[in-house]
Structure 1
């Protein structure tokens, strides 16, 4: 049975530096997936939050252990006094089957299709492949035109809608997944700190195994095997 994962990366404390760090983490994971030929799909990206679906692979256990606070220490470009700043991002990885708790009914969905728009290509503006799905009870709308197939766009839109509605359900009912997310990520005093990425010393500290790696650039370029093998 396939076990797909959902990986969420969110901005933490540190303002603009946290956003830069989010991009570092995004690049790290995507480079790792590419090197290991792991299929992934970016479901949502608004610069402050990225959600990916990761296909079944041999690193599920390792990736599930990525959940928690990732901390960066470096000197921002606009720091005139050379002071090291600390910023964070949160990572949450869960089994796809545990993420989607909402049963969507057809009567609650308004599905619209239109021609995809984009730059060039014989497939642009030739078919009604773009899909917009509105969840009528909440008025949440998701539009997807990334794929050439209307069916693929519909499935992807429903997937993102599930994530959004699931997040609302978690917040409203404080269910088990939300408690887990809060315990791992959002409780600042008891948060599960995973790693510190220290740029001045080219060092990554693995807080789970209490190991330091002086290969920061290699790891941020997707060589997570350096950490996963321990």
Structure 2
């Protein structure tokens, strides 16, 4: 699959509820891709972070606008007093540039290998297949052990590292465009709310358009077009 767009979902505030919400968002986007025949590939699938690579589609403009803070309001399952909790996750979507590999010169990379941890018995991986790659100039690193092959883990780690470096450089450049407002921009970009998902009222508040949608269940089932039309 060609490198076109990359989607990152990260845990925000809210502890376990934020982690549960991350899984909700991951399923939402994947169902959206599947329903619209958009090819995708999961590059990283951790408890606190998910990175998905996806191809170009007619929804590019809408998907780019997904970047920001997604907020959820619901009553946790273990909440005995029925108190609603607010949690967040951050979403970042960027277009992959064709020349991103120029950033990753071999002299700037520190590559380490180690044995991947297994579940025991015959499934334990006794080879040095786990890969950690550090980009020395930025100190950004990626660890990958999803695959049994060191080569596959290295390839996947390079893709993720490309994404993280370009995200870092993009944020850095956006701050430099307004040095006098550096702190303001940094804080506002980090806290920019895109949506609030209110489970109690089956409602989604779109903060970009100041509109409400009372079809939360459908949206979480991958019908994002409902929100794109508003």
- C-alpha distance in 2 between matches for 1:66 and 1:85: 22
Q: 1:3 to 1:228 in 2, by over 3 A?
A: farther
**TM-align CA RMSD:** 3.7
Aligned to 1:37: 37
Q: 1:50 to 1:167 in 2, by over 3 A?
A: same
Contact 1:69 1:194 in 2 (8 A): yes
Contact 1:197 1:204 in 2 (8 A): yes
Q: 1:170 to 1:208 in 2, by over 3 A?
A: closer
What do residues 14-41 of structure 1 show as CA deviations (whole Å, max 9, x unaligned)? 1111111111111100110011111111
Aligned to 2:133: 134
Unaligned runs of 5+ in 1: 120-124
In structure 2, the residue corresponding to 1:175 is in which secondary structure? helix
Choose which of 174, 177, 196 in structure 2 pairs with 1:176.
174
Q: Does 1:160 align with 2:154?
A: no
Q: Does 1:82 align with 2:74?
A: no
Contact 1:21 1:89 in 2 (8 A): yes
What do residues 53-97 of structure 1 show as CA deviations (whole Å, max 9, x unaligned)? 111111100100111111111111111111111111111111112
Q: Does 1:71 align with 2:71?
A: yes
Q: 1:202 to 1:145 in 2, by over 3 A?
A: closer
- C-alpha distance in 1 between matches for 2:164 and 2:106: 17
TM-score, normalised with respect to structure 1 = 0.75
In structure 2, the residue corresponding to 1:58 is in which secondary structure? coil
In structure 1, the residue corresponding to 2:80 is in which secondary structure? coil
Contact 1:102 1:162 in 2 (8 A): no
Aligned to 1:52: 52
TM-score, normalised with respect to structure 2 = 0.75
